[in-house]
Amino acid sequence: MSLEQQENTEVVALVEYVYNNKSTCPDMKTHDSGDNLISGIHYDVANSSMTDKSLVWCRWDEDNETITLYFTNTLSQSDKDILDTIMGSY
């Protein structure tokens, strides 16, 4: 990477939301839409009434039985409540 490219590179810190007791591998659990779990989460967020849908990616941690969602912004309390409802179904 050239110096010019480095100067134009912006580092974005992602905001994490962690959900516990998620022991089922996302690749093994399917969503009603027929997509796998992780794709289902993206689908549900995109089709929800959340005002901020900046979900970048999800990560399932088998050892800790967690799913971590990474957003580009901190969610409002209203959006966090909707996300909590979405994640309650997984």
CB 69 within 8 A of CB 26: no
Residue range(s) defining the domain that contains residue 70: 10-88
pLDDT of residue 31: 61
Domain assignment present for 3: no
Domain assignment present for 20: yes
Tally the domains of the chain.
1
Domain assignment present for 4: no
Pull the structure tokens for residue 81: 């409540």
Domain assignment present for 21: yes
Sheet holding 15-19, edge to edge: 15-19, 66-71, 55-61
**Which residue(s) pair with 18 in the sheet?**
68
Looking at 1-90, list the stretches that DSSP marks H as alpha helix, in order from N- to C-terminal side: 3-7, 37-46, 77-88
CB 71 within 8 A of CB 52: yes
pLDDT of residue 74: 96
1 pLDDT band (50/70/90 cuts)?
Answer: very low
Q: In a 3-state reduction of DSSP, which class is residue 15?
A: strand
CATH number for the domain spanning 36: value is: 3.30.70
Domain assignment present for 40: yes
- Taking only the tens place, the pLDDT of each residue in 5-63 is 556 666 678 999 999 999 877 655 566 666 666 677 888 898 899 999 999 988 889 89
